Amino acid sequence: MRRRASLVLLALAVFCAALAPLLRWYAYPRLAKIPPNQYQEVVLEAKDATLLDYFDGMRPKKVDKVTIVQTLKGNVEASREIEASAGRDVVVWDTLSHIIGPDGKTVSQIPERYIFDAHTQDPVHATGEMVDGDPVRREGIEFKWPFFTEPRDYLYFDAQTRTSSPIHYVGPRTFKGMDVHYFEQDIPWTKVPMPKKMPIEGIDPATIEATTGTTLWYTAKARFWVDPVTGAPVNAEQDIQQEMRGGIAASGPDGRLTAFAGHVTMREDYSDHTVALVKANRTKVLALHTYAPLGLTGAGIVLLGCALWLEARGRGRRAPDEELSA
């Protein structure tokens, strides 16, 4: 009876030992990925900001608040089409940044299409990749870091400049009870395209630049608090400045007019929701990557020990019986 039990325990130990690496190196890369149908909305605010008033003599004015509503919607149909040629799981995010002034009116809208690998978050280049209707070829990451983000610098894509530059790892931080990686990126003053959606209907930004010589310039300091397990930012802040230079901005100091200046932060209720969501997803990723493989490995060792112990006891009992029969 003991021999049969030891064989059963040995078989279970082998099963656990085989399943542990299978979960870690086979199941985890295939199951830990961004769903193609994800939908998310985040509200950002810039309080006590400066905003160009297009309807009152094109003058910068201090305003109580500028609101930025960012929506992110997974395009399942587009991802399936790209997957057919890419040969891997692909996610297509159609995003929209809707900037709203203190009076509730639209300041601008900037759509994006972001295409990336569902597991690694590496960009996937395909037709339709764009920012505000302009084709782009992203390098590095945007919106989300990879699973198990490392404490190092990454290449991060900035949608305003349509370029990628290093985002620097600064150090560990704690945000709302979570241990996170903290990153910073500085974008120097750069000439950028004007948004195609302007506050005044019928204005073509390309025409403005061509006929008046007015250009738009942008600089920013971005800060991200990133969960190292899921790679999801739990908080983001930006110090943004935009200036119009030359042409219709000639009336401003040094031929410049501030189009926007403010410290952009995530609204508190959306920050709380993001933290709760990331914590839940963190547990799922750790279960596949760490908890289950280690648990199975430990269980295999315990079962193997029990099988050897039962076998040893069985041999000990059989030895005296054999001597008596002799």
Predicted pLDDT of residue 323: 47
Question: Does residue 275 sit within a domain?
Answer: no
Q: Of the ranges 5-9, 188-192, 234-238, which one carries the lowest mean pLDDT score?
A: 5-9
Residue 246's pLDDT is: 86
Of how many residues is the chain composed?
326
Mean pLDDT of 272-285: 93
For the stretch 34-45, pLDDT in tens is 999 999 999 999
Flag whether 272 is in a domain: no
* Residues 6 or more apart whose Cβ sits within 8 Å of residue 248: 58, 208, 212, 214, 257
Distance CA 65, CA 276 (A): 26
Residues 294 and 174 in one domain: no
The reply to whether 16 and 86 lie within a common domain is: no
Instruction: Identify the domain containing residue 309 by its residue range.
Output: 2-24+285-325
Same domain, yes or no: 251 and 142: yes
Asked whether the predicted pLDDT for residue 314 surpasses 70, the reply is no
**Predicted confidence band of residue 320 (pLDDT cuts 50, 70, 90):** low
161 in the same domain as 20: no
Same-domain check for residues 171 and 248: yes
Domain count, the chain: 2
Q: With contact defined as beta carbons under 8 Å apart, do 91 and 124 qualify?
A: no
What confidence category does residue 324 fall into, taking pLDDT thresholds of 50, 70 and 90? Answer: very low
> Same domain for 91 and 179?
yes
Amino acid at 212: T
Any domain includes 280: no
Q: What pLDDT score was predicted for residue 61? A: 93
pLDDT per residue over 173-225, tens digit each? 999 999 999 999 999 999 999 998 887 776 777 777 777 788 999 999 999 99
Position 2 confidence tier, pLDDT thresholds 50, 70, 90? low
Q: What is d(CA 248, CA 212) in angstroms, rounded to the nearest whole number?
A: 7
Alpha helices per DSSP H over 87-147: none
Q: Are 259 and 243 in contact (CB under 8 A)?
A: yes
Burial string for 297-317 (b: 16+ CB within 10 Å, else e) reads: bebbeebbebbeebbeebeee
